[in-house]
Amino acid sequence: MGIKERQERDREAVRRAILDAARDLFVTEGYQNVSIRKIAERIEYSPAAIYGYFPSKDDIFFALAEEGFRLLGDPGAEPNRRDLERLPPLERVRAGFWRLYEFSREQPQYFALMFVDRSVPRISREYERFAFAREMKRHIAEEISACIEAGELPASLDPTLAMHALMVGILGVAVLRLSERLGPDEDADLLAADVLNVAIAGLRSGVVLKARHVDCAMDQQPVIKAQAS
């Protein structure tokens, strides 16, 4: 291994240590109480050295969220992807949302940062600019469109609104589980499955979704605004 390759490997190892320390501190202390100094102490580096990798604390947590979306988008690479492609369109949609729920169990730290916490300024301000988030939304909407074309969902259904309805349901259960708001006899996995089944059954029934699209000035991504009854 040459000097340049060794330097790149060492730099990546330090970057990894910074991100891991920030993620752990985020869980135990919350974003507001995490500082560059605390991250530096955790990895036994100087605060000045941290700034050589990230311009600010905000950038560290933004990088963590980006990493989380990559983990969510690649649950097992090609073998799982090939298995999904063999499923009927509606089962692919179901599997995609179940993957989101599984991610909340497997990676609760990333999930909280990506979908729950609102204290990281850059994530809140630039959420729709995450390339992986946009790609995930686009892919889900395309899968729902495939369900409509296959006759598994009504032709009148708006794929983007259907995506939001399903996502809100499954994220809701994940947040209840993460915040320990379920009773001792309640099984979060069964509840998530029930919510997903009920939401899909509702969409198949032709239920009218009363939301509409408005333009997001930041990047023209669709968002949802409720209509008056």
DSSP the chain: --HHHHHHHHHHHHHHHHHHHHHHHHHHH-GGG--HHHHHHHHT--HHHHTTT-SSHHHHHHHHHHHHHHHHH-SSSHHHHHHHHTS-HHHHHHHHHHHHHHHHHH-HHHHIIIII----HHHHHHGGG-HHHHHHHHHHHHHHHHHHHTTSS-TT--HHHHHHHHHHHHHHHHHHHHTT-S-TT--HHHHHHHHHHHHHHHHHHTPPP-EEEEE-TTT--EEEEEPP-
Q: Are strands 211-215 and 222-226 parallel, antiparallel or unpaired?
A: antiparallel
pLDDT at 7: 85
Question: Does the pLDDT at position 214 exceed 90?
Answer: no
β-bridge partners, 222: 215
Whether residue 68 contacts residue 29, with contact meaning beta carbons closer than 8 Å, is answered with: no
> What whole-number percentage of the chain has pLDDT above 70?
87
pLDDT digits 0-9 by tens, 43-76: 999 999 999 999 999 999 999 998 888 888 765 5
181 phi and psi angles, rounded to 5 deg? -100, 5
172-195: b or e for each residue (b if 16 or more CB lie within 10 Å)? Answer: ebbeebbeeeeeeeeebeebbbeb
Q: What is the C-alpha to C-alpha distance for residues 92 and 94, in angstroms, rounded to an integer?
A: 5
Q: Is the dihedral of CA 74, 122, 140, 174 positive or negative?
A: positive
Closest CA to 141 of 127, 126, 162: 162
Q: What is the CATH number of domain 1-54?
A: 1.10.10.60
**Whether the predicted pLDDT of 218 surpasses 70:** no
**What share of the chain in percent tops pLDDT 90?**
62
Specify the pLDDT at position 130.
Answer: 76
Segment 191-200 shows an average pLDDT of: 97
Query: What is the reported pLDDT for 226?
Result: 37
- 170-175 average pLDDT score: 96
pLDDT (tens digit, 9 = 90+) per residue, 120-147?
Answer: 887 877 766 677 778 888 889 999 999 9
- Give the mean pLDDT of 1-30: 90
- Averaged pLDDT of the chain: 86
**pLDDT digits over 149-171, tens only?**
999 999 999 999 999 999 999 99
Res 225: pLDDT: 38
- All CATH 1.10.357.10 domain ranges of the chain, comma separated, are 57-226
Report for 81-90, 111-120, 214-223: range of highest mean pLDDT = 111-120
> Residue range 85-102: average pLDDT?
92
Please give the model's pTM, rounded to 2 decimal places. 0.81
Q: Residue 215: pLDDT above 60?
A: no
pLDDT for residue 79: 54
CA–CA separation, 64 vs 69, rounded Å? 9
Q: Where exactly does CATH 1.10.10.60 map onto the chain? A: 1-54
Q: How confident is the model at residue 23, as a pLDDT?
A: 92
Give the residue from 155, 152, 158 showing the smallest Cα distance to 200. Answer: 152
What's the CATH class of domain 57-226?
mainly alpha
Residue 30 reports pLDDT greater than 50: yes
